[in-house]
């Protein structure tokens, strides 16, 4: 089913960077990244494309770098989407199973999912994802490990988790990608993509909260029993921490970003009070000195705010007691030292750092094994998952068509005869036709000319025969009738 020549491209349009990943199949069904390109993001604010031209240029640079490294052209991409405009709703749908279906078929499930596109949304919103939560057949809920296809029933029902986004923001992404000379294969919510990179089926089944702390947004996706149950996008992330450092230390943004990534910590008590960082001054100003403990205090204050909102979203989902695999922190913000310990302190849930090496083969570039690339690598993995699912459905349809019995149809017989005669010379039917129809032609012509008159005469003679028969007797009228016919 799998093809080693399959190529999938993921494009992560982030607030701080735009990264392109080109993947193919490696050993043991794992993925190998053969091309990687990254460029600073321009025109994007908090995950939303604001300037289409600037974003298109950044996309083009990242894709060209990845394409050159991989040695393959790039035409279609899977694109990640985030931003505060992302929302989620719950909806319930029901379909009736047709009488000719002995059990629920895939087309019944597809029809139930497709009907969710008809739900009433707020103006300016479009559906991005539809995730079935559970299936109910004739009032009985199926367990998560039982597929509805193949179950006998008359009614299929399900609750759906539906992710929506702003129509204009979706169009801006589409226009930016098209302006860069590419087409979009699929749009994927960024925490869903990251989950493909840092989680496995065991995590999803046990229950896990994925927290992707990016530059402009913090994305949350909660899984339980193998199904995504809750999604959310928070408008606070790594850039807010950088801004706090810049304003409190009165330094440039680039200097603040360097301080955060190289020396930053989320727990001041774990940093020595005597450690001092010297920062070059502006123009003729003397260097500035900042205590590492002071820096950690600034970072902790903002990170606490972010993690408190994460804790609120987890409780809002009512799944905090079902997250047995804990919290998985990923994204660029997860590189902060001691963020795992701070997350456990605030939420009371076991946490770990999620690196995107879960499904990559050993030949992938070690440089990309970084939490900041989880979304881009996850988009490639998502694309391969979609490709495999499509091939599986096609194979099932082919097998079903082969197993379906062929019923004889009488209407097909004339077509077979036509096919046989089609190979014969055109004049042969004309040679055969006179032998059958020639003797009958005079009779047919005579009947057409005199048939109606003869019928009228016969009816008239019968009526006369009945009348005079009663007066003169049958023999007399029969003789007179013969005389009239002779005349």
Q: Is residue 4 part of a domain?
A: no
Tens of each residue's pLDDT in the chain, 487 residues:
456 679 999 999 999 999 999 999 988 889 999 999 999 999 998 889 999 999 999 999 999 999 999 999 999 999 999 888 999 999 999 999 999 999 999 999 999 999 999 999 999 999 999 999 999 999 999 988 899 999 999 999 999 999 999 999 999 999 999 999 999 999 999 999 999 999 999 999 999 999 999 999 999 999 999 999 999 999 999 999 999 999 999 899 999 999 999 999 999 999 888 889 988 887 778 888 899 999 999 999 999 999 999 999 999 999 999 999 999 999 999 999 999 999 999 999 999 999 999 899 887 888 899 999 999 999 999 999 999 888 887 777 676 667 665 555 555 444 444 443 344 444 444 444 444 444 444 444 443 444 444 444 455 455 545 544 544 444 444 444 444 444 3
With respect to residue 408, please indicate whether it lies within any of the assigned structural domains.
Answer: no
Could you tell me which of 230, 356, 344 has the C-alpha nearest to residue 220? Answer: 230
- Residues 205 and 344 occupy one common structural domain: yes
Tens digits of residue pLDDT in 421-452 = 344 444 444 444 444 444 444 444 443 444 44
**CATH code, domain carrying 103:** 3.30.1490.110
Question: Taking the mean position of all CA atoms in its chain, how far away is CA 170?
Answer: 15
The whole model's pTM is what? Answer: 0.79
Q: Looking at the structure, do residues 308 and 353 belong to the same domain, yes or no?
A: yes
Taking a C-beta distance cutoff of 8 angstroms, is the pair 155, 137 a contact?
yes
Q: Map residue 77 onto helix, strand or coil.
A: strand
- Strands in 46-177 per DSSP E: 48-49, 76-81, 87-96, 125-137, 140-141, 155-166
Check if the beta carbon of residue 5 is closer than 8 Å to that of residue 22: no
State the DSSP code for 235: S
Clarify whether residues 330 and 228 are in a common domain.
yes
The tally of domains found in the chain comes to 3
Instruction: DSSP letter for 143, please.
Output: P
**Backbone φ, ψ for residue 480 (5° rounding):** -65, -35
- Taking a C-beta distance cutoff of 8 angstroms, is the pair 249, 288 a contact? yes
Whether residue 195 lies inside any domain: the answer is no
Q: Is residue 390 part of a domain?
A: no
Which of 305, 331, 357 terminates a domain? The answer is 357
CA atoms within 13 A on the CB side of 395: 8
Contacts of 345 (CB under 8 A, 6+ apart): none
Domain stop point among 331, 357, 383 = 357
Range of the domain at 219: 201-357
Q: Which of 328, 357, 386 is the last residue of a domain?
A: 357
Q: What is the side-by-side order of every strand in the sheet holding 327-330?
A: 227-234, 218-224, 208-213, 327-330, 351-353
- The answer on 211 and 150 residing in a single domain is no
306 and 158 within one domain: no
Residues 342, 216 share a domain? yes
How remote is the C-alpha of 357 from its chain's centroid? 24
In a domain, 387, yes or no: no
Averaged confidence pLDDT in the chain? 84
Token duo for residue 336: 């902060």
Are residues 235 and 329 both part of a single domain? yes
Ramachandran region of residue 354, left (φ > 0), alpha (ψ -120 to 50) or beta?
A: beta
At 271 the three-state DSSP class reads coil
The residue whose two tokens read 């505060």 is 84
Answer yes or no: do 326 and 281 share one domain.
yes
CA 285 to chain CA mean position, Å: 55
Quick: pLDDT tens for 326-350.
Answer: 999 999 999 999 999 999 999 999 9
248 and 313: one domain?
yes
Residue range 115-150, pLDDT digits in tens: 999 999 999 999 999 999 999 999 999 988 899 999
Do 217 and 351 sit in the same domain of this protein?
A: yes
């Amino acid at each position: 089913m799998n093809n080693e020549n399959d190529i999938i491209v993921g494009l992560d349009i982030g607030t701080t960077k735009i990264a392109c990943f080109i993947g193919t199949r490696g050993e043991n069904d794992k993925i190998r990244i053969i091309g990687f390109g990254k460029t600073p993001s321009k025109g994007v604010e908090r995950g939303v494309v604001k300037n289409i031209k600037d974003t298109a240029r950044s996309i083009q640079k990242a894709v060209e770098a990845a394409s050159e490294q991989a040695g393959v052209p790039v035409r279609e991409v899977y694109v990640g989407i985030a931003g505060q405009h992302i929302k989620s709703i719950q909806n319930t749908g029901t379909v009736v199973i047709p009488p000719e279906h002995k059990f629920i078929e895939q087309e019944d499930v597809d029809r139930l999912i497709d009907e969710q596109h008809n739900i009433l949304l707020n103006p300016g919103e479009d559906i991005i994802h539809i995730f079935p939560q559970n299936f109910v057949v004739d009032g009985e809920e199926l367990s998560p490990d039982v597929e509805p296809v193949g179950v006998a029933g008359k009614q299929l029902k399900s609750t759906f988790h539906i992710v929506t986004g702003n129509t204009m923001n979706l169009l801006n992404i589409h226009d930016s990608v098209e302006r860069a000379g590419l087409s979009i294969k699929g749009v994927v919510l960024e925490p869903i993509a990251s989950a493909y990179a840092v989680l496995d089926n065991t995590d999803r089944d046990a229950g896990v909260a994925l927290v992707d702390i990016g530059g402009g947004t913090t994305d949350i996706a909660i899984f339980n029993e193998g199904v995504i149950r809750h999604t959310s996008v928070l408008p606070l992330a790594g850039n807010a921490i950088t801004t706090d450092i810049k304003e409190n230390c009165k330094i440039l943004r680039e200097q603040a970003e360097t301080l955060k990534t190289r020396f930053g910590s989320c727990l001041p008590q774990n940093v020595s009070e005597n450690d001092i960082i010297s920062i070059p001054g502006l123009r003729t100003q003397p260097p500035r000195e900042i205590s590492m403990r002071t820096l950690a205090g600034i970072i902790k204050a903002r990170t606490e705010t972010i993690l408190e909102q994460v804790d609120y979203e987890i409780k809002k989902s009512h799944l905090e007691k079902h997250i047995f695999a804990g919290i998985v922190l990923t994204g660029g913000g997860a590189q902060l030292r001691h963020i795992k310990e701070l997350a456990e302190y605030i939420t009371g849930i076991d946490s770990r750092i999620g690196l995107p090496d879960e499904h990559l083969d050993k030949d992938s570039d070690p440089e990309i094994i970084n939490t900041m690339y989880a979304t881009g690598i996850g988009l490639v993995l998502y694309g391969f998952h979609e490709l495999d699912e499509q091939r599986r459905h096609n194979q099932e349809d082919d097998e079903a068509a082969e197993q379906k019995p062929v019923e004889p149809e009488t209407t097909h017989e004339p077509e077979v005869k036509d096919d046989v005669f089609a190979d014969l010379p055109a004049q042969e039917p004309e040679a055969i036709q006179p032998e059958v129809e020639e003797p009958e032609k005079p009779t047919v012509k005579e009947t057409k000319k005199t048939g109606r008159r003869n019928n009228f005469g016969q009816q008239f003679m019968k009526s006369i025969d009945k009348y005079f028969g009663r007066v003169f007797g049958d023999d007399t009228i029969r003789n007179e009738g013969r005389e009239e016919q002779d005349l």
